[in-house]
Amino acid sequence: MNYEILISFIGASMLLTLMPGPDILYVLMQSITNGKKYGIVTAFGLVSGVIIHTTLVAFGVSAIIKHSENLFLGLKVVGALYLLFLAYKSLVSKEVIHLDKKVSSINMFKLYRRGFLMNVINPKVSIFFLAFFPGFLYSSTQNTIIQFYVLGILFMLQAFIIFTLVSILSGQFSSYLNSHKSFSKNIKWFKVIVFIAIAIFILFS
């Protein structure tokens, strides 16, 4: 077992989770509008959906590996190219982070279900995991499917911790974003660097 790869995976996952996107902004808005516990329930729903995408990727990629190592290498190359494409899209995007959207108050179970469904029905998550996970398989002896589930669980844990911290610190985050209008413009460089770095790691791991 290569623990350095696992540590690299956790680090890369944290950087990806910290990128302002629909999930983390939805957690932030629920926390600001309805309270911190609502943000945490939303976060739990969102990360629960990861297990579905992990299952799809685990069994699909494991089948590819059993069929041909060359196919698996090709998958890693395609995955790296996809991450480079995401870097390019981030570079040319003109997205702006808004925190003035109203989020309706709902009960805890419905909030969890909404977060879960938001994640599960987004096909981009599976596509991203398909590009991201294969480059971080950490053992030549452990069952491949088990390795994917380990990566999926680690991704879920770090995402839930970060989302929970966002909920707890929602007031400070909101104040910072509202007082630093240039944040949206500068964050794209952070995204570009992270996507390129992960793509290079996948290619040469």
- Sign (positive/negative) of CA torsion 22, 196, 10, 201? positive
What is the rounded distance in angstroms from the CA atom of residue 7 to the CA atom of residue 12? 9
Q: What is the mean pLDDT of the chain?
A: 84
User: Whole-model pTM above 0.85?
Assistant: no
Q: For 56-89, what is each residue's pLDDT tens digit?
A: 889 988 777 777 778 778 878 888 888 898 888 8
- Judge contact between 106 and 114, C-beta under 8 A: yes
Q: What is the pLDDT of residues 155-203, one digit of tens each?
A: 999 999 999 999 998 877 667 666 666 666 667 777 788 888 888 888 8
Cβ-defined contacts of 20-23 (< 8 Å, 24+): 20/97, 20/184, 20/187, 22/118, 23/118, 23/119, 23/163
